[in-house]
Structure 1
């Protein structure tokens, strides 16, 4: 177990370093060299795919993933009786949202198109909406990473695991790309969001494995004591 936890922590540290490097390279208010290069790849395509990208971007919106997260937690808690995993989902998604807000206010990078509002369930609120890192990209990465983790946990067929994992990885990449093509974010906002999301997810997964291992050991110890007491009475 400790080997896998060490690997997860190393991934988390590496992703954090990557996020830091991206943050340093990105100018606070204007596009960096990385942004200019990546934006050239998308040049012209945003006009042809704007409607499709809007729908894809919607899949990373706060209200959609809030509903998906609630349904996932209910499925884990009520259907699978996996209460610890349900709390793990809440920690990953809830902590990710708070981390994203903290980083946005820390860097305070303006968007490609100035925006001082955000929307939730169709309601518009006047509030400064910073760009770095992308909230859509972070939420999408964390949620679909959770789905991939649960697929490898519950699905038995290896081929199905691989196919669904690739599909959700592509969906996450498309959601991130849609934010650039809709001029809602700079490319470095997306790259930074993916990096810090990977760092947060692997850190949470390492912590969950430690917690879950201790819980299993405690349950085994209690069962052992019960069996010893049972044989002692007989």
Structure 2
């Protein structure tokens, strides 16, 4: 649908709604969330998470899993951008961005990073309210980063949705493989 421009009706309607909300204060808000969706903030959050997994929790296997998921998502995004070669929107651009548009790298990075962190922290947060708050925070942060890319005019809505879907599939497959590997290790230890 993206390659054949069959999704333009969706993109046009969502862009009109989101960019129709433009104001100076909202622009500042959206620029903040787009800034924390990539670059130095994501590298810093990733480094802190890796240090926490390695030095505090002593979970080396989880550290490897985390690294593979985050790096794999970035590589998948690069491959998909080169495969689709979709140009960025040019109608009303508030911020500048380079490279191809589909899928949104910010959306994929946010979904993957906050999704894998929620997965890894889930078993360490015992209280149901804490788990709910963590999931809600991750979802709101991921959604706001995606919306900021549409608002700033650097992505089509289908880029953002595509980024979420690609990242969701990558994350689900990675978690499935990780869980299967853990179960296999437990069975092997029990049979010794």
Alignment partner of 2:159 out of 189, 204, 217? 189
Matched, 1:32 2:2: no
Displacement of 1:24 after TM fit? 5.1
Alignment partner of 2:42 out of 65, 75, 86? 65
Match of 1:50 in 2: 27
Q: Which runs of 5+ in 2 are unaligned?
A: none
Displacement of 1:42 after TM fit? 1.2
Alignment partner of 1:94 out of 71, 79, 82? 71
Displacement of 1:211 after TM fit? 1.3
Preserved CA contact (<8 Å) 2:104 2:160: yes
Name which of structure 1's ranges 84-93 and 69-78 shifts more when overlaid on structure 2.
69-78
* Correspondence list, 1:148-163, <5 A: 148-163=118-133
* Correspondence list, 1:80-91, <5 A: 80-91=57-68
Match of 1:211 in 2: 181
What is the number of residues matched between the two proteins? 188
Preserved CA contact (<8 Å) 2:62 2:120: no
Matched, 1:145 2:122: no
Question: Normalised by the size of structure 2, how large is the TM-score?
Answer: 0.90
Match of 1:112 in 2: 89
Alpha-carbon RMSD across the aligned residues, in angstroms, is 2.1
Question: Normalised by the size of structure 1, how large is the TM-score?
Answer: 0.74
Larger radius of gyration: 1
Match of 1:133 in 2: 103
Alignment partner of 2:147 out of 165, 177, 186? 177
**Hey, what's the Cα distance between the residues in 2 that align with 1:171 and 1:64?**
13
Displacement of 1:25 after TM fit? 6.2
Displacement of 1:66 after TM fit? 2.0
Q: Report SS of the residue matched to 2:89.
A: coil
Preserved CA contact (<8 Å) 1:57 1:136: yes
Displacement of 1:46 after TM fit? 2.8
Deviations 1:112-150 (A, max 9, x none): 1399x96xxxxxxxxx61000000000000011012212
**Hey, what's the Cα distance between the residues in 1 that align with 2:102 and 2:42?**
20
